[in-house]
């Protein structure tokens, strides 16, 4: 078992900056947890506290039921893979991978076996005699992962390991890390600001902003049931659309602006009880908006909504329409056969089963 439990963790840097505020979450044994958030939100600081590279200002971290606040990094049975790989330039790849094991005075045979085994898993056996500068970025990245694997740690920590790779290699390594997770049965905490990486790899995503955890959930939950406007807008590309709409109670509930008049489906009515006459922030994802001529028959189609098309972006398998509705910009991902033309009026349809609504003040989801 290698559960990692963070209990009310805080980090206040010596200059007084409060970088992590009351963080509570658990990385379960064999779980792949991604810490996700924009630059500066405190995710690397959190990872470094788990590794023991940063002091914890308040709260406790437990690994395997043991409080590790005061345990040295080397004694935490954790391996960290850094963004810049941190390879020793003068050593061969073999020695880079063997280094940590030599320090721990493992028998030579065992070191050899572990290095070769990791090299085989990562398909870098043919590179063991080279030095880091003779490798490509992707190969260096594999070596950095290999150096962690040979240690057979309880927990792997990854700090933006793919951010120095080009887009294509990143997609490839993403899949490889996921396979590796399954193959090694590893417990992983992984930091990234890339929501696609988080969505594709994580069992559980911890979304942070300004030092606070915003939501914890599996990829499906954080995408389909975002708890606040920040999470709703941060997860998904193109991002969720937001419209300020007024709630009107009249034989059910309606959401209005000049061009929009949406009847709230019965199943959501109860959430609007306290909002009659008030504005809410309405949310809908681009894929839940249809060209009126190509509405998905399984959707709960709204009445037609007038928009003014600004830009049409054909992507082949789908077309993005950037439109304006009552002065607010919206992106719709529609059927590529759309006949929408820039600068003309065009009618769209929303899937009412996929709507979101947020309180304007608290920015929290109504449902």
Q: What is the DSSP annotation of 289-317? A: EEETTS--TTS-BPPPEEEEEEEEEE-SS
Residue 113 three-state SS: helix
CB closer to ligand ATP out of 37 and 217? 37
Closest approach, Cβ 203 to ligand ATP, in A, equals 21
d(CA 33, CA 93): 29
Q: Check binding of 80 to ligand ATP (CB under 6 A).
A: no
Closest approach, Cβ 271 to ligand ATP, in A, equals 33
Task: Measure Cα distances from 48 to 69, 129, 149, 188, 191 in Å.
Answer: 12, 31, 19, 14, 10
User: Which one of residues 15, 237, 251, 298 is an interface residue with ligand ATP (CB under 6 A)?
Assistant: 15
Q: Check binding of 209 to ligand ATP (CB under 6 A).
A: no
d(CA 5, CA 9): 10
User: Which one of residues 114, 147, 151, 193 is an interface residue with ligand ATP (CB under 6 A)?
Assistant: 193
Residue 208 DSSP label: E
Q: Which stretch binds ligand ATP (CB under 6 A): 39-47, 57-65, 141-149, 234-242?
A: 39-47
Q: Which stretch binds ligand ATP (CB under 6 A): 34-42, 58-66, 303-311, 359-367?
A: 34-42
Closest approach, Cβ 14 to ligand ATP, in A, equals 7
Q: Check binding of 114 to ligand ATP (CB under 6 A).
A: no
Q: Check binding of 44 to ligand ATP (CB under 6 A).
A: yes
Q: Which stretch binds ligand ATP (CB under 6 A): 13-21, 173-181, 313-321, 348-356?
A: 13-21
d(CA 120, CA 253): 61
SS (H, E, C) 242-279: EEEEEEEECCCEEEECCCCEEECCHHHHHHHHHHCCCE
Q: Check binding of 185 to ligand ATP (CB under 6 A).
A: no
CB closer to ligand ATP out of 41 and 135? 41
User: Which one of residues 43, 140, 154, 285 is an interface residue with ligand ATP (CB under 6 A)?
Assistant: 43
Q: Where are the alpha helices (DSSP H) in the chain?
A: 43-51, 93-103, 108-121, 137-149, 167-184, 195-201, 219-224, 229-234, 266-269
What are residue 272's phi and psi, to 5 degrees? -100, 0
Residue whose beta carbon is closest to ligand ATP: 44
Closest approach, Cβ 86 to ligand ATP, in A, equals 15
Q: Check binding of 151 to ligand ATP (CB under 6 A).
A: no
Residues that bind ligand ATP (CB under 6 A): 13, 15, 17, 19, 37, 39-45, 193
């Amino acid at each position: 078992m290698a559960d990692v439990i963070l209990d009310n963790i805080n980090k206040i840097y010596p200059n007084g900056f409060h970088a992590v505020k009351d963080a509570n979450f658990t990385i379960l044994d064999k779980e792949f947890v991604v810490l996700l958030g924009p630059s500066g939100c405190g995710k690397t600081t959190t990872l470094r506290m788990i590794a023991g590279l940063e002091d914890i200002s308040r709260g406790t971290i437990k690994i395997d039921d043991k409080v590790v606040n005061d345990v040295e990094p080397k004694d935490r049975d954790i391996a960290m893979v850094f963004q810049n790989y941190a390879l020793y330039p003068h050593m061969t790849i073999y020695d880079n991978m063997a280094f940590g094991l030599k320090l721990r005075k493992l028998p030579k045979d065992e070191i050899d076996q572990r290095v070769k085994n990791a090299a085989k898993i990562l398909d870098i056996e043919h590179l063991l005699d080279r030095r880091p500068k003779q490798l490509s970025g992707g190969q260096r990245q594999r070596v950095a992962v290999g150096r962690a694997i040979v240690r057979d740690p309880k927990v792997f920590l990854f700090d933006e390991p793919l951010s120095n790779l080009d887009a294509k290699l990143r997609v490839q390594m993403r899949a490889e890390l996921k396979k590796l997770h399954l193959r090694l049965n590893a417990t992983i905490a992984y930091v990234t600001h890339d929501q696609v990486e988080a969505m594709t790899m994580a069992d559980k995503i911890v979304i942070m902003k300004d030092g606070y955890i915003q939501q914890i959930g599996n990829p499906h939950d954080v995408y389909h049931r975002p708890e606040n406007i920040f999470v709703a807008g941060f997860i998904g590309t193109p991002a969720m659309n937001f419209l300020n709409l007024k709630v009107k109670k009249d034989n059910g509930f309606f959401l209005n602006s000049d061009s929009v008049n949406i009847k709230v489906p019965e199943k959501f009515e109860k959430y609007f009880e306290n909002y009659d006459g008030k504005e809410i922030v309405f949310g809908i994802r681009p894929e839940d908006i249809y060209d009126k001529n190509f509405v998905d028959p399984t959707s709960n189609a709204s009445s037609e909504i007038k928009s003014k098309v600004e830009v049409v972006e054909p992507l082949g398998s789908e077309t993005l329409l950037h439109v304006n509705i009552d002065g607010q910009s919206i992106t719709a991902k529609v059927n590529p056969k759309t006949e929408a033309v820039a600068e003309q009026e065009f009618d769209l349809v929303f899937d009412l089963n996929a709507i979101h609504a947020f309180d304007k003040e608290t920015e929290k989801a109504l449902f």
